[in-house]
Structure 1
């Protein structure tokens, strides 16, 4: 048995792990819906329809986000955004809500794709969170270059990831494909072990 396995490093069971005394917190973040909307931001009709359907303004500056009470909109590219909600709502619900919204966007030459089942997210909180992420992610996470509300597509280890900073605690969320969830969680825990960390129960994305 490896030392990390013997010490419980990599376990998702809530508890204290690692040797350090830091207040670092790791948790899986549950996603109720993750929908990719694509369209032309220079078309007022597209922007108005997204606002009507989801009650959120799409961010137009690269690597930024916009939040509403129900969801967060992530800029992925000049004509692509990811809408994420931690709990179902009238803005982002189940497939019964998805289909009519997809059809409404298709009618104006835009598109909507449901990625909910394919994404897993983990949140890291505390002053050491950036250092843990830096162990596998090449992004410059200094507060001057990656402030609260920033997001960026990058990698963590060998896995494509969407990295999001929700506040200046700091708290970071890493979204990856579900097929790589175990690898990413294990790597985060191994990197966090030197500081000591707490695994908390799953919590909805915010």
Structure 2
């Protein structure tokens, strides 16, 4: 009998160059939340009641236990972790995005220099501190970039995950070679 095994988008990626490390993040449930016009406040209250976080302001990331919410654009957020409470659908669109994204973590003192080669944003510490998030380009791909202690977490479309990892690793090699 043939047994099928689930594969992650990057097959457990873990590479290092110099002090830089690129690893695949474990899969987590992702849900896009988009309040309907006039329902933003109600959606935020429902989020607070059900998950202990409110709808984020632009560039904001919030966490409460195993729940994380990332601002993802005008009137959009990504809920990471739990299944969304049913009450949220009374106030806006609630769309499962879990299978559409892949997560990557880039760590190291020069992580911002690596991403500077691929992203038009200023991701240096003072400009983009831990807990900040942005939707931007990563090379020619769209990405959700979040600053975390020691580096960055990136979400890219699953279909572009290998391309993103290859381009980041190439930039890592170049930055490490300069050291």
Q: TM-score, normalised by structure 2?
A: 0.82
Residue of structure 2 in register with 1:191 after alignment: 171
Question: Is 1:151 aligned to residue 133 of structure 2?
Answer: yes
Residue of structure 2 in register with 1:105 after alignment: 88
Change in 2 beyond 3 A, CA 1:37/1:135 = same
Report deviation, 1:161. Answer: 0.6
Residue of structure 2 in register with 1:49 after alignment: 46
Match of 1:161 among 140, 143, 151: 143
Gaps (5+ residues) in structure 2?
1-9
Question: Is 1:173 aligned to residue 169 of structure 2?
Answer: no
Report deviation, 1:33. Answer: 0.5
User: SS in structure 2 opposite 1:146?
Assistant: coil
Residue pairs, 1:82-101, within 5 angstroms: 82-85=78-81, 92-93=82-83, 98=84, 101=85
Match of 2:72 among 76, 79, 93: 76
Report deviation, 1:12. Answer: 6.0
Residue of structure 2 in register with 1:34 after alignment: 30
When the two chains are superposed, the root-mean-square deviation of aligned CA atoms in Å is 2.4
User: SS in structure 1 opposite 2:25?
Assistant: strand
Change in 2 beyond 3 A, CA 1:78/1:158 = closer
Are the counterparts in 2 of residues 129 and 172 from structure 1 also a CA contact under 8 Å? yes
